[in-house]
Amino acid sequence: MANSASGMAVHDDCKLKFQELKAKRNYRFITFKIEAQQVVVDKLGNPQSTYEDFTASLPADECRYAVFDFDFTTNENCQKSKIFFIAWSPDTSIVRMKMVYASSKDRFKRELDGIQLELQATDPSEMSFDIIKARAL
């Protein structure tokens, strides 16, 4: 387990599952949560999962970190993929929770080597499919 300056540990499973998403494409998305002072894997989305499946898996009133493997076609008709890191911090979540997630985010993100784009969202409209697509292109 890796320790961070904020006192937050990162469970080895987090990096392992992320490597599987990145290298083997075993998952479409992974959500992570902070539990007992460490970041742990929350949910795994199978490779057939859609972006809607991913957004539906995020709790409405709790913070999460997530990675999403976004496949898209460029304007030049090339198939590409980008890995997004999403910091989900809904307005309805507890202030202390938002602070813990915000203070641990950069350290956790550094543990996941291969993230290409980052997005922060406090409400589903801030991470709509159109926003993700626009950021990827």
Local structure of 42: helix, strand or coil: strand
- pLDDT digit string (tens) for 15-60? 999 999 999 999 999 999 999 999 999 999 999 999 999 999 999 9
CB atoms within 10 A of CB 73: 11
Nearest alpha-carbon partner for 69 in 32, 107, 24 = 24
CA distance 108 to 64: 12
How far is residue 39's CA from residue 6's CA, in Å, rounded to a whole number? 12
Q: What is the pLDDT of residues 50-104, one digit of tens each?
A: 999 999 999 999 999 999 999 999 889 999 999 999 999 999 999 999 999 999 9
Query: Which of 65, 62, 79, 66 lies closest to 29, judged by CA?
Result: 66
CATH 1.10.20.10 fits 9-136, yes or no: no
**26: DSSP letter:** -
